[in-house]
Amino acid sequence: MPSRTIFPSTRAKSPCSSEYCTGVVEVKVGEGHNAPSFFLHTGLLGFYSGYFHAALKRHFLPKSDGMIKLPEEDVDTFRIFVTWLYTGQISFAEPGKVYPKLLALWAFADRRGIPLLMNEAINAILHEYLLTLQLPTRRLCEVYDITVPGAGLRRLVVHLISHLWNAKTFIAECDKMELPPDAYRDILCAVWRLKDERGAERMKLREVGQVCEFHEHEEGVKCETEV
# residues near Zn ion by CB under 5 A: 3
> Taking the complex as a whole, how short is the minimal distance between the CB of residue 35 and Zn ion, in angstroms?
35
* Binding window for Zn ion (CB under 5 A); candidates: 34-42, 129-137, 198-206, 209-217: 209-217
Distance CA 41, CA 22 (A): 6
- Considering only residues 215, 218, 219, 226, which one is a binding residue for Zn ion as defined by CB under 5 A? 215
Q: Is the Cβ of residue 29 or residue 109 nearer to Zn ion in the bound state?
A: 109
Report if residue 116 touches Zn ion, rule: CB under 5 A. no
223 sits near Zn ion (criterion: CB under 5 A): yes
If binding is defined by CB under 5 A, does position 114 make contact with Zn ion?
Answer: no
Closest CA to 60 of 33, 22, 32, 20: 22
Q: Contact between 55 and Zn ion (CB under 5 A)?
A: no
- Between CA 155 and CA 209 the distance in angstroms is 15
Q: How far is the CB of 209 from Zn ion (least distance, A)?
A: 8
Residue 120: closest CA among 211, 29, 14: 211
Of 29 and 212, which has the nearer Cβ to Zn ion?
212
Report the residue number, 22 or 147, with the smaller CB distance to Zn ion: 147
Provide the 3-class DSSP secondary structure of residue 68. Answer: strand
Site string for Zn ion, 153-192 (x = CB under 5 A): ----------------------------------------
CB 158 within 8 A of CB 144: no
| Shorter beta-carbon distance to Zn ion: residue 145 or 207 | 207
* 121 counts as binding Zn ion under rule CB under 5 A: no
Helix, strand or coil, per DSSP, at residue 83: helix
Type of residue found at 23? G
Query: Residue 11 has what DSSP assignment?
Result: T
Residues belonging to the chain: 227
User: Judged by CB, which is closer to Zn ion: 112, or 215?
Assistant: 215
CA atoms of 206 and 158, how far apart (whole Å)? 17
At its nearest, how many Å lie between Zn ion and the CB of residue 217?
6
- Reference 59, options 27, 20, 81; nearest CA is 27
25 binds Zn ion (CB under 5 A): no
Strand partners, 101: none
Contact between 212 and Zn ion per CB under 5 A: yes
Residues engaged in binding Zn ion (CB under 5 A): 212, 215, 223
